[in-house]
Every structure is written in structure tokens, then in C-alpha cells.
Structure 1
Amino acid sequence: MKKILFLFIISLGVWGCSDLDELNIDTKNPSAVPGEPLFTNGTRNMFDMMADVNVNRNVFKLYSQYWAQTTYPDESQYNMVTRKNPDNWWRALYRDVLKDLDESKKIIETFEPVYPGETEMKDNKLAIISVMEVYTYSVLVDLFGDVPRTEALDPENVLPVYDQAEDVYDAIIVELNDAIQTLDADYAGFSSEEDPIYGGDVAGWVMFANSLKMRLALRIADVDASKAETMVLEAAPNLISSNDEACAITYFTSPPNTNPMWTDLVQSGRKDFVPANTVVDIMNDLEDPRRAFWFTEYEGGYVGGVYGTANSYTSFSHLGDPFLQPDLKGTVLNYAEVEFMLAEAVERGFAVSGTAEEHYNAGIEASILEWGGTTEDYTTYIANADVAYSTASGDWRQKIGIQKWLSLFNQGFDGWCTWRQFDFTGLTPPPGMAMSDIPTRFIYPISEPELNGSNYDIAAARYNDDSPTAKIFWDVN
């Protein structure tokens, strides 16, 4: 009897300790985070950065000369130092995007499939993460040039080397090819709740991955035409082919899941921006139907603020209603861009189907329809001799470049990249400055010379001592 009582007391002690241990577990802050929410968070952070218009972060609607400023024109005059724009992008993309994606991949890799289809689902998830990593590194290179990759994301290595931009592109192209080979639309990937871009549709990621591959191919086409052609022909059968298939994040009508542009333009109550005369004047000359959606009228017409100066908010057109909606999608690659890329591919002699003019026209039509215009609007516009491919002024770089740039009005970063790639005539320098002053890259973060000095010095030397007008490897024209 004593033995039974002793064992009973011990068991009470064991159960009591177990209950006490459970009380020490914070169920709202688990120590083990699943990989899927990390993917969601990293992806959301990336798309938020691209959609943002806060001048402490995203200044590319200004660099692409779509917008002009009112009170504070520093960013339109290419001041990268005061607000530490390069530092903010560097930190956000490495810490808030790539680190989350990397940790997500590590956790999902440990998953042991049991049921039919789980192996393929796991592979799809890992491939989708790879696509997002490729996209993020491509933005880093297009921003800065040389950046850490092979030694990035290692908390034990606080002095990562800067990989040369060409090498980063080579590596991410391999990673992207592997991801495309792996993606299988017959199986699941992330759930609709975990995937804020395609809502769990793996086929959407296949189209984005191939469209991204074509973008990277045409970025390098002036330095490696043979490789670019191979990539374009491989990607061409599986591209984004309608406005509904664009790679875009879904935002909602109420905070905190609204488009960051709404936060800065509407919720803040600030009036810091007006459309720039650079883009408005070109669209006026072409009688572009998208003006009615992108701008408000001022004194019976569309009037842009003088780019690179402080403008009175009440003296010019304002941004149109679509840009004031909290649930405007945040797009990073749209159908219009795909058609303009195909037009470029034809002009480069790559054997994709269709003519340059057909793809050029399709890109214009897609953009007009995307913003609420009609087929009739497109037909009238394309009949304008200054728009029609056969009669518009300039060579193919000018024709495709200017219309592609117009179509990217809500994608400031991509508009800036388009100008750097095509060197079309259209942008103008701020008063008192020259075309040669318009940046062709971001300088490195202000903190890098102090935190990673020796590696910074090597990278900076490749860009004229970290000059904002030095060119990255694919920008050779």
C-alpha cells in the first residue's frame, strides 16, 4: 500500500511539473515559426517596397519622371543621402525580404512528405520561393550593381563580399531555370491564404517565372545576345498573356492591408506630388487616352508640374482616381510589358512568333484596357501617325522604349530601368542640371564604408568611386 501511494505521489509530481511547464509556453509567440508565413511576409514586404511612394523609401516614380514634387524637390534632384534611400532599400531587401525567404526555404525543406502529392507540393513551394529570391536579387543588382549574394544572409559573417553584378545575374538565371523546371501546375503549392500574389495558383507562378526570365534575358541582350536569345525562346511559350495574369499583389480596402500608395497619398492627408510635365506633355502631344484615368483636369486640360522643382499643388493636374484607391493592386510585371518585350525580341532577330508591330500594338492595347479605356480608344490612338509603329519617330529603341515607359506609369522602378535600357528621348533633367546627372544606379548605403569598408571599396571602385551616374553591366548604350 505504501508503494502504491508513493508511486501515486510521484505521478502527481510529474503531472504537476508538466502543467507548470505548459504555463511557460507563450502560445501567441511560438518559438518555431512555420515556413509558409515567412514566405508570405517576405513576399508582402517586397511588393510593398515596389508599390511604396514614401520619399524615405521608393523614389522611382520621381526618377522615372512620372511624378513631380511640391514642397520638397530633393528627391527629384537626385539627393540620395539625406533620406538614406539606398540604406533603406538595402536593409529592407536583405533583412525583410531575402532573410524571410531564406528561412522559409530552410524550414519547408525539413518537411517529410507522407501523403500523395505532398512531395510535389513541397517542391512547388520551394520553387516559388526561388522565383521570389531571383526577382529580389535582380532588383538589387539593377539598383546598385555589385551586391553580396554568395556570402549574404549569414549572421556569422558581418563582412560579406560583393559579388560582381554579372555573376549575380548568371547565378539567379540558373536558379530561375531550376525553379521553372520544378514548378508543376498539376499540383498544389502555397495555399490561397499564404500566396498573396496568385492565390495558390501554381500556373500563375509558372507564367511569372517565364516572364521574369524574358525580362532578365533582354536586360543582358546588349552584352550577351546569344544567351539572351536562348532564354527568350525558352520562356516564350509560357508567358503572362492577359491583364488578369499580371504579377501583382492583392491589397484590401482597409488598413493595414492597403496599397502603400494610398497610405501616402490619402490617409496621410499630404499633398506632396503632382504628375510631372515630362510625362504629361508627351501624352498631350500624342492625345493619349490614358490621361483621363491617370490625371485630373486643370483649367480644361492636363497640366504637369515642372519636374525637379517645387510646384504648387493647386496649380496643376492631380493624380487620377485609380491611384487613390486603397485596394489598387501592386503590380511588378504586367501583360503590356510582356508584349513590349516580345516586340523588342523580334527587333533583335530572336525567332519569336509575330511581328514587332503586332506586339507593340498589343502592348499599347493591353495598357489602355488595363486602366479602363476601350478598344475604340486604342484604335484611335494607334491611328495617330506619331504612335503607329511604321510612322512614329526614331528607331525601334525609341518607339518601343517610349510606349513601354508610358505603360509602366504605375511601376516607377521598371520605368527607370526601361529608360536606362533603351535610352529613348523623353526624359529631361531638372533645371540647372544635365542629362548626364540623371542617376543610372543607386549609390551604396551610407553605412557600408564604415560597416564593410574593404569590400565596399572594391565594389565602389568598379562604379567610379560609387558614382550615381556610373552604369551597371547591362546598361551599355
Structure 2
Amino acid sequence: MHRVLRQLKHQLQGVWDLMYNCHSKKNTMKNNIKILLLLLLTLNYSCSDSLQEVNVDPNTFPSAGDAQVLSSAIGFLGYVVDTDLNYSESFLWSQYYTWGQGVSIGNSERYVAQPDDFNGYWARAYANCLADLNAITKNSSAPAYSGIAKVLKAYLFQGLVDHFGDIPFSEALAGAIEDGSILAPSFDAAGSAVYPGLVTLLDEALSDLERAEDGVVGEEDFIYQGDISKWIKFANSLKLRVLMRTSETDPQAAAIKELIANGTFIETVADMPYIPYTGASGDQNPMFARAEYGVGMFYFASNATLDVLESLDDPRGEVLYTKATTGSFAGQLHGIDQGTIKNEPFTAPPTDYSMASEYAYSETNPVILMSPWEVWFLRAEAAARYDTSDDEEMAFETAIALNFKYMGIEDEASSYINSLNYSSSDALVDRIDQIAVQKWISLNGTQEDEGWIEARRFDRPESRLFTNGIWQTPPLSVLPNGTFPSAWLYPESERSLNPNAPAQRTITDNIFWDN
């Protein structure tokens, strides 16, 4: 049953992607809607444990149980994270990649954005993932299900804030009659309402999970297979991310020190929350599936990243990117300056340049929600800023070592770490810069969107590390030299349908934690 369910989820993802991204004829759209409705019907009926023909009103639509709804939410979550976020503007705006040979420079590379560009992410996050998870938190009597759903709700809401700023939160998902029929939810202030609300939501999740029993949730949990202890680690790690995000604008030292002292966290790959894919038809990594059967994978290594890797003699470049196989740089890593058109249209073969490797781009790659190296970098930074109970140097070194191990080059970790000469006795600004660079490198290939988000946070007044150093201004950028995107536009679909939507922003507006 679960294999069929997973295949249906991926078909649903493809239909949603088609509906939001193509501009086809009216009849085609009608057909797509029919397909979607058919799949939804199939999803509901195929997941029932029994027909339960007795005492069933034939005039009512059967409701799905916690297991079916959770698996649906996680299925859509994989698509949202790896396609709507990782394989989006963030893929380029993080400057891990740039447009490559054989294609014209697109709007994303020129820092031109349209509100319609973000309709799909907004709709799938709210109408699919969050709607499913909200159904669980409203209706489930099992603390295991409600706790898991609250963790994932916090994860999704944080992502929405970190891209858009103010969002519907307190009145979101309240369109049902019993919830007040709120069809035009208000937008809550990101800093004063949503982020504190995320901490509360995660505390509620932890309370539920502490009361939960193992074995209640099973294979429908594609992330942890119902292992409650790991969900607790995920909840604490996500809470740490939320609290640390405001480190430059609203430090949460006391809360962070208490959390570090008393919580359990994602510490190894065995603890890592991820959504797996077998690579079989209907069960492929979402980024791979969309590129292979849709928009294409035409991105090349950005010299913004390669220059940093080369300056540090960092061996991870050869894991992240392929080597050129033809041309004067054959056998070497060879990138392109961000957004640069050398000879338009490009005439050199793509094999003259480095592209995404299988580490970053494969049909079997998991969608990683939080990595242990991300969490250890958060703990290293927290120790540096707030003198927590963690060993700062150990946390920094562990983060890098885990990333090297995951890449399959753990034998090279020790010498590389020693070459960095990280010391807790150095000036704080220098330690934060080292953490920032190493974290940005480590998120490449697995969490590109988080890499873009954290680069914005680390680019702070005392050290414009990225905007005045690492990142390159594309020659055709419509923004001033040294100016880079820092937010996404509100989707046109929301602004046209919700009278409470705020005025449109620009892509250079700062999210509240970004100064």
C-alpha cells in the first residue's frame, strides 16, 4: 500500500508543477484539473485499510486517517524542499551555480523576479503540506501524530517567513466553517508574531512527542519510520535554528543556553531527517525528476564557489562538481563567473566546464531537511556568541568532519580542519566569518536554499563577507553593483485573491533577521 501511495504522491507533485508552471490552452488546464481530482480520489480510496462498507453513508466522501494524511504531507514536502526551494532562485542566488553553455542568461541570473515565479511554492506549502498537517493537529488523538505534524508545520512556516517575511500564520488554514471560515487571512508580523509562534509550536510538539509511544506511527513516516526519539532531536534542532536565526537582530542567549544544556539534537547522519528515494519511476529525487523530464539541468559551477574552494585547498570541490573532460581545462574543475556571457551564444561544449556531480544531482539523492553538519555549525556559533555548555572548537570541527564523511572523503578531513586554524581565542568577528564560510560550503549540494538564507544572515554590518567579498555581481544584473537579492516577491495568486495581503515588496528588502 505504501509503495502505491508514494507513486501517487509523485504523480500529484507532477500535476501541481504542470498546473503552476505551464501556460497552455484552456482545455489542457481543464484536463490537468480532472487528472488532479482523479488522483486525489484514488489516493483516498487506495489508502483505506478496509472498505468498511457497513455503516458508511454513501453520500459522504470518506476521510483519510492520520497515516494517509501524514504520508501525503511528507510526499509533498519533499517536492517543496528540493524543487520549489533548492532548485529555484536559491540555486543561483547562493552562487553555487550559474547558467551554463548553450542557454541564454535568464531572469534569475539578472536578478529579475516576477510575482508569478513564486506561486507554486506558496500554493504547495499552504494548500498541500500545511493543510494536511493542520488536519492532523486538529483531529488526531495520538500525540505521536500531532507532535510530528507540529514539527513539520514549524519547518514549513519558517521557510515561508525566511523567503517572504510577513505571512498568514495565526489565521492560516482556517477556511473551514468550524474554524471561522477565514478565506482572507491576515498577515502576521514575521519578527514579533510568527517567529515567537514557531518556538511555541515546537514546544507544543516536544510536549506531544514526550507523551507519545513508539510504534504508533510506522512506515507512513518516510522520514524516521515512527522513531519518536529522533523526532525529538529534529524538534530541538529546528528550535535551535529558529532561535539562532535572529542572532544579529534579537539575540536569544538565555533560551539558546537552556536548549543546548537540556536538549537532544541531530548529531550524526543516523539522526538526520531526510526523505529517501529509490530512483525507480515515480520515486525519484524531485530535483532530478523535474530537471530530467522538464526544465533541464543546465547549471554549471560558479567561480564564486570554486574560487573559495581553491583558496582553502578544499577537496570538496571534486565531490560537488564534475571535472571538465574536454578543452584546455580537461581533468580540472573549471567554472564560469556568476552570470557571465563569454561568447553569446556559447559555442564551447558543456564538457569544457564543471557541472553538478551525482552528490548534488541524482535520482536516488535524499531530500535532507536538516543535516548534522548544519546543527553542529549552529552549536559552534551559539558557543562563540553566547558561551554555551558546548565546546566551540569541537563543534566546529565536528561539523566539517561529518560533511567530509558524508561526501566519502573522511580521510582528508583532519588535515583540512587543521589547516583552518580555528581558535576560540580569536576575535569573535573572525570566528563567525569562519563558521559562515564553512557552513556555506557544507550546505552546497544538499541544502542550497538554506545556504542562501544563511549567507544573507552572516552578511552582517561588521563583515559584509558575501556581498562585499565572496559573491560576484552578474554583468547583466539589474541591481547596483554589490547588491544581491534578499527576499522573494509575494505570489500574484495571493495578492490578487486576498485583500489582506500587504503591498508588494522588492527582492532587495530584508527579512526581519537580516541586517
Q: Same fold (TM over 0.5)?
A: yes
Task: Quote how far apart the aligned CAs of 1:271 are.
Answer: 4.0
The answer to whether the 8 A contact 1:262-1:323 is kept is no
2:480 counterpart of 1:441: no
Q: Which residue number in structure 2 is paired with residue 468 of structure 1? A: 507
Shift of 1:324: 3.8
Change (3 A) 1:232 1:304: farther
C-alpha RMSD of matched pairs (Å): 2.8
Q: Please tell me whether residue 316 in structure 1 is matched to residue 353 in structure 2.
A: yes
| 1:249 maps onto 2:269 in alignment | no
Whether 2:114 is the aligned partner of 1:81: answer yes
Matches within 5 A, 1:280-319: 280-298=306-324, 299-309=330-340, 313-319=350-356
Which of the numbers 206, 210, 213 marks the counterpart of 2:236?
A: 210
- Deviation, structure 1 residue 229: 3.3
Deviations 1:186-239 (A, max 9, x none): 7226533210111111111111100001101101223332x3431343245301
1:93 corresponds to which of 113, 125, 130: 125
Name the CA shift for 1:302/1:380 in 2 (closer, same or farther; >3 Å).
same
Q: How does 1:44-443 map to 2 (within 5 A)?
A: 44-52=75-83, 58-70=88-100, 71-72=103-104, 73-81=106-114, 84-109=116-141, 122-155=142-175, 156-166=181-191, 167-184=193-210, 187-188=213-214, 191-225=217-251, 227-236=252-261, 237-267=263-293, 270-298=296-324, 299-309=330-340, 313-355=350-392, 357-374=393-410, 376-384=411-419, 387-390=420-423, 395-409=430-444, 410-423=446-459, 424-425=465-466, 426-433=470-477, 434=480, 437-443=483-489
Contact 1:428 1:435 in 2 (8 A): no
* Distance (whole Å) between structure 2 residues aligned to residue 393 and residue 204 of structure 1: 33
Structure 1 length-normalised TM: 0.83
Assess if the C-alpha contact under 8 Å between 1:439 and 1:468 holds in 2. Answer: yes
* C-alpha distance after superposition, 1:24-56 (max 9, x if no partner): 959xx962211221122112212221112799x
C-alpha separation between the residues in 2 aligned to 1:168 and 1:219? 13
Distance 1:151 1:412 in 2: 30
The SS at the match of 1:184 is: helix
1-structure distance, mates of 2:458, 2:215: 37
Query: Structure 1 CA distance, aligned partners of 2:85 and 2:243?
Result: 31
- TM-score of the two chains, using structure 2 as the length reference: 0.77
Q: Does the CA contact (< 8 Å) of 2:190 and 2:512 recur in 1?
A: yes
Q: Contact conserved, 2:110 with 2:476, CA < 8 A, in 1?
A: no
- The number of aligned residues is 429
| 2:258 partner SS | helix
1:111-148 Cα offsets, whole Å, 9 max, x none, are: xxxxxxxxxxx112111111111111111111100001
- CA–CA distance in structure 1, aligned partners of residues 331 and 218 of structure 2: 45
Aligned pair in 2 of structure 1 residues 33, 293: CA closer, same or farther (>3 Å)?
same
Distance 1:23 1:44 in 2: 29
> Tell me, what secondary structure is at the counterpart of 1:471?
coil
Structure 1 residues 220 and 323: alpha-carbon distance in aligned structure 2, compared to 1, 3 A threshold: closer
Q: Which amino acid aligns with 2:234?
A: F
Unaligned runs of 5+ in 1: 1-19, 110-121
Q: Give a deviation string over 1:254-311, Cα, whole Å, max 9, x none.
A: 0212111221344559342112221122112222111222111121211122322456
Q: Is the 8 A contact 1:40 1:194 kept in 2?
A: yes
Question: Aligned residue for 2:14?
Answer: none
CA contact under 8 A between 1:266 and 1:324: conserved in structure 2? no
Letter aligned with residue 457 of structure 2: Q
Query: Counterpart amino acid of 1:315?
Result: D
Cα deviation, 1:149-179, whole Å, max 9, x if unaligned, reads 1111123322211000020111121111121
Q: Does 1:36 align with 2:61?
A: no
Q: Is the Cα contact below 8 Å between 1:125 and 1:189 reproduced in 2?
A: no
Q: Is the 8 A contact 1:229 1:350 kept in 2?
A: no
Render the CA deviation track for 1:11-36: whole Å, top value 9, x for unaligned.
xxxxxxxxx9999959xx96221122
**Which residue identity is paired with 2:440?**
W
Identity of aligned residues (%): 27
Taking structure 1 as reference, are residues 331 and 22 closer, same or farther at Cα in structure 2, changes over 3 Å only? same
Q: 1:435 to 1:43 in 2, by over 3 A?
A: farther
- Secondary structure of 1:209's match? helix
